A and B are shown apart, each in its own frame.
Chain A
Amino acid sequence: MRFLLNFKSGTPVYLQLVDQVKRAAASGALVAGEALPSIRPLAEELRVNRNTVAKAYAELESQGVIESLAGKGCFVTARETPFKKDVRRKLIAETIDQAVVHAHQLQIEKSEFLRLSEERFVTFEQKRARASHG
């Protein structure tokens, strides 16, 4: 998985890592049983303090998003999603808000925006169906 850190976001770095793993697990980008990178190479790659990565992993473990197996590393736990439904709604609302603002700037009407959303949904479902059959 790929992490993106932003030192200007006002969110502590370890919490950015926590959020990104949770989002990836919620969206299916990370699947149950999948391994997270070990602390040392990830800290080296992101050039952050090793303690920051360790703190993020400890937080993820206490929230039940990942589990650590001694000597083997950290793995995504087999759960539906680490977020409660209202949190998931809030997350998707943020993404939709961005798209709405973008649509406004590009002078795309509400009706057209909704029609496009419908279309994208159909495309997504078709792709998924093809992937699972093929």
Chain B
Amino acid sequence: MSNQTPVIDVRNLARRYGRTDAVDGLNLRVAAGRCYGLFGRNGAGKTTTIKCLLNLLRPTRGEVRMFGLDPARDEVAVKSRVAYVPDYVAFYPWMTVDDTLAYFASFRPRWNSATEASLVQQFRLDRRQKTSHLSKGQRTQLALITAICAEPELLVLDEPTAGLDPIVRREFIQTVIGAYQDGEPGRRTVLISTHLISEFEGLIDEFTIVDGGRDVLTMESDAARQKYQKIHARFAIDPADADLSGMRVLRRQGRDVEVLVNGDVGAVMERLRAAAPEAVVAETLTLEEIFVSTLQHQEMVA
């Protein structure tokens, strides 16, 4: 709305390691102000894609634009507007928490010291502690502080909550919503790569499912939750002659039939009702269920 140029614009990206195509024809477009999910299984190509966005890897082919700029040619201009929290965070082990914060702040054009103070206190981090003595959860918290205090226009989170305990996860997500999103709307874009989708269900407003190095489905979350439904029908007797042709049957057990609907829920309900069931219930799929069913369908097609 406020900014027409997409924050991320990736076209036909490919990246090859030796003979393996980690990413192979991926498209991704993220508008400013969105909270965007990049969903995929381990090895789907999410991290490789992110590294190409940040110019940590050169694409084998395809085009990457960040804020309309080329991240290889305008590396400094792009990196000064982005903060990245990787899945495994490494700090200099001899530095304390305080040293690390000062070190990160020294590279940044902006640094919000008030946010730093409140997050260090909220996460109960000891400023004099050496980073080599921090737990995995504390390292992730420190990485999140270094990312948020720089007030970047784009916050990139790569599998941020993997391996964290539930309390740290909850605090992590609340911090992204609170401390980060609270800034100027339209200049606070989030890209979250994850396979732990249910944790981010309420946060994601648009997503791309990646599989085998390609984008297989891109949708707005609300639209997806309206489009994908599961219909459960219970019949008085085993509906041996019910016409289920063309439906994706998830479960068929005695008198119960469960089908997945992708689109016209009303039409499928009508057809099931024609077989005179005792009860028919439609239920929306969560983003995680949409993810699972999309990938299972991929396998069936392949």
Query: Which residue numbers of A lie inside 8 Å of B, CB to CB?
Result: 5, 7-10, 12-13, 40-41, 43-44, 46-52, 54
Contacts and interface: CB of A to CB of B under 8 A. Distances in A.
B202 A13 contact: yes
B177 A44 contact: yes
A94 to B, nearest CB: 16
A9 B226 CA distance: 9
A8 B35 contact: no
A13 B201 CA distance: 10
A84 B185 CA distance: 34
A49 B205 CA distance: 8
Contacts of B287: 7
B284 interface: yes
Contacts of A5: 202
A7 B229 contact: no
Nearest to B288: A7
Nearest to B190: A49
Contacts of A8: 283-286
Contacts of B185: 50-51, 54
A54 B1 CA distance: 15
A13 B177 contact: no
Contacts, number: 62
A51 B35 contact: yes
Contacts of A50: 177, 181-182, 185
Nearest to B223: A12
A12 B285 CA distance: 13
Chief secondary structure at chain B's binding surface: mixed
A43 B177 contact: yes
A129 to B, nearest CB: 42
Contacts of B222: 12-13
A7 B35 contact: no
15 contacts: A7-B225, A8-B284, A10-B284, A13-B222, A40-B178, A44-B177, A47-B170, A48-B177, A48-B202, A49-B35, A50-B185, A51-B33, A51-B185, A51-B205, A52-B202
Contacts of B178: 40-41, 43-44
A8 B224 CA distance: 11
Interface string B213-234: 0000000001001100100000
Given A7-B284, A8-B284, A44-B177, A49 B203 contact: yes
B117 interface: no
Interface string B224-252: 01100100000000000000000000000
A47 B284 contact: no
Closest 5 pairs (CB-CB, A-B): A48-B202, A12-B222, A10-B284, A50-B181, A44-B174
Contacts of A9: 284
Contact of B201 (A7, A10, A54): A7
B173 interface: yes
Contacts of A43: 177-178, 181
A41 to B, nearest CB: 8
A54 B201 CA distance: 17
Contacts of B181: 43, 49-51
Interface string B27-45: 0000001010000000000
Nearest to B34: A51
Contacts of A54: 185
A31 B229 CA distance: 37
Interface string B284-302: 1111000000000000000
Contacts of A13: 202, 222
B122 to A, nearest CB: 11
A23 to B, nearest CB: 20
Contacts of B284: 7-10
Contacts of B282: 10
